[in-house]
Amino acid sequence: MRIAIVVARFNDFVTERLLAGARAGLADAGLPDGDIEVLWVPGAFEIPLAAEAVAASGRVSAVVCLGCLIKGATPHFEYISSACAHGIMAAASKTRVPISFGVLTTNSAEEALERAVEGPGNKGREAAEAALEMARLLAAVAGGGR
């Protein structure tokens, strides 16, 4: 099984921690580091396109999407978070490849960092575990449940 992780560079002080959590979760699940492909994109808005492209390539069993949006004083946050969430769901539906949502939408940097801690509370880890579980489920369904 091969997993892609699409990571936004924007707010990298958080997304790098989410990536570390995702890698740790996949390693704990027995996935070798060589079976993890990391793709960096500028920001959360670009995540869905990259996720769809790597999912459609046929190279991966699942995609983990990681990003961090922190609410500011303008409605920009709502537009980007909505576009990102809908785009990821559309990409998964179109490609039929599991694509998990590990994009934080928080009110502050402090809230974001609380969700990017080491260990089981890391939302990147949770997103990686969800992607892996769905990839295994779909493989079982395709194989007749064997």
Q: Which residues are catalytic?
A: 76
Spatial distance between the Cα atoms of 107 and 69, rounded to a whole number of angstroms? 9
Cα atoms in the 13 Å half-sphere on the side-chain side of 86: 6
Bridging pattern class, strands 36-41 and 99-106? unpaired
Q: b/e for 109-132, b at 16 or more Cβ within 10 A?
A: eeebeebbeeeeebbbbbbbbbbb
Task: Output phi, psi for 82, to 5 deg.
Answer: -65, -45
Residue 4 in contact with residue 95, Cβ under 8 Å?
Answer: no
For 92, residues 6+ apart whose C-beta sits below 8 A from its C-beta are 55, 98, 99
